[in-house]
Amino acid sequence: MSDYYAHADTATSHTIGRSANVNDVSQAVDTAFDKLPSKASLDGDYVTFASDTGVANAYAVALPQTITAYAAGLHIPVKIANTNTGPSTLNVGAVGAVAWKRHDGTDLQANDLVAGRIYDTRHNGTNFVLTNPAEGIVAQATAQATSATTSAAAALASKNAAAANAVLTAADVVTTGNNVTMAAAKAAESVAAAAAIRRKDNVKAASTGNVTLSGEQTHDGVSLVSGNRFLAKDQTAPAQNGLYDIATGAWTRCTDMDSWNEVPNAVVAVEQGTANADLHFQSISDSGGTLDTTAITWAQHGGGDLKSSENLNDLSNKTTARSNLGVEIGVNVQAYDADTTKNDVTNTFTKPQRGTVTTDNDGSFDLAAGQNFKWTPAAADVLEFTNEASDQSGTILLVNPSGYAITKGSEVACDGSFLTTVSAAGTYLIGYYCDGVTVYVGYTGALSV
């Protein structure tokens, strides 16, 4: 008794058999065979092993049985003769070459099929599909882990104490069979989160105004071709702003910024451009938005790196560099002078700091021209002042050689004897103080040695 053969009667040796009993047994055997898969079904579903006889990227295998069409579910383990270098096809039993895809439906990439190895594949009704992850996926994941390690190390070296708690070692990248644990990538993400930014891969150029999001173009003096990354930050519809992959047709958002949770605090560096080269830009949009609906706003981040036109060390003309930085000596800042007077220390003044005596023999003293004067009249004269400055004071040495008559201007205040005294021949020391309107004078009698 079995699932295939169900007949209870058995023949006994040395007995006469009845034809009815023989017919029953024969019918039971026929029924059992009817339960088995047909030859066509077996031919269309499974073989134990097939060796590739084709060339790289165009693989071919022969089966022990003949098939005339590909049935959905056809299962063939294939031993590869030549490592692939890109998208590939498989031809089984000369039925015809069809595309051979990764298990996720995408085209095979270089080194997904390695010579000498066996790969399970099934026909899905349209294409042949690897049922196990391609070699290239594992290699790509390993490369991403290595890149993440490098990024994390760089981030750790440049971030503040908040990010310094993230520690990365070689043991953080663990590979087990076809599964790659991206511990290093997570560490890099943790570092960036601790520093409150999401740093993105560089873009080749950035916008300076609204751009058409399709086709190869030139922006900010940079020729953009398919495969370049581009920052659109000035769109008329701000929800279109973001990172794009350039294409001959419609552009698509870069995979590192194609969902809203990758937008807030994103920071990207611009490599080239007349206006944007070497600058960094940060998305200042908040969490909780919807991609292609909520506005994405960008602002310059950290002022960028100094350009050669702004760097004091790269230019032979330091005056131009200081002007670019807004620190031009004598315009924006005062030149350094070691002799500058200081209020918090004792200063020793030499002659230039003590003030010089201005010789003025016409009797009219310009307070904007000096503080101390020497006056030797050659005839009768008038004592007067111009440019009277509030709180200015000083002295006048009057040498009257021949008793010339001295009078005063209306702005001068003195006692009743002043004019009579100084009109006599002699040498006098006159002191003055100005309140901005009136000049008050005092004097000595004739001085002699």
Same domain, 187 and 261: no
Write out pLDDT tens, residues 248-300.
999 999 999 999 999 999 999 999 999 999 999 999 999 999 999 999 999 99
* 21-35, 146-160, 253-267, 350-364, range with greatest mean pLDDT: 253-267
| Domain carrying residue 388 | 351-443
- pLDDT band of 7, cuts 50, 70, 90: low
How is residue 164 written in tokens?
């310094």
Closest CA to 75 of 21, 120, 20, 27: 120
Res 162: pLDDT: 43
Percent of the chain with pLDDT over 90: 53
Band of residue 444 on the pLDDT scale cut at 50, 70, 90: very high
Tell me whether residue 12 is in a domain.
no
Split into its structural domains, the chain has a count of 5
28, part of any domain: no
Q: Is there a single domain that holds both residue 435 and residue 360?
A: yes
284 & 255 share domain: yes
- Is the residue at 234 inside a domain? yes
Based on the domain organization, do 294 and 361 belong to the same domain? Answer: no
Say yes or no to pLDDT of 354 above 80.
Answer: no
Do 389 and 404 fall into the same domain? yes
Buried b (16+ CB within 10 A) or exposed e, 402-411: eebebebeee
pTM more than 0.75: no
pLDDT for residue 107 = 93
Under DSSP, the state recorded for 342 is -
Q: Is 443 helix (H, G, I), strand (E, B) or coil?
A: strand
Within a 10 A sphere around the Cβ of 395, how many other Cβ atoms?
Answer: 15
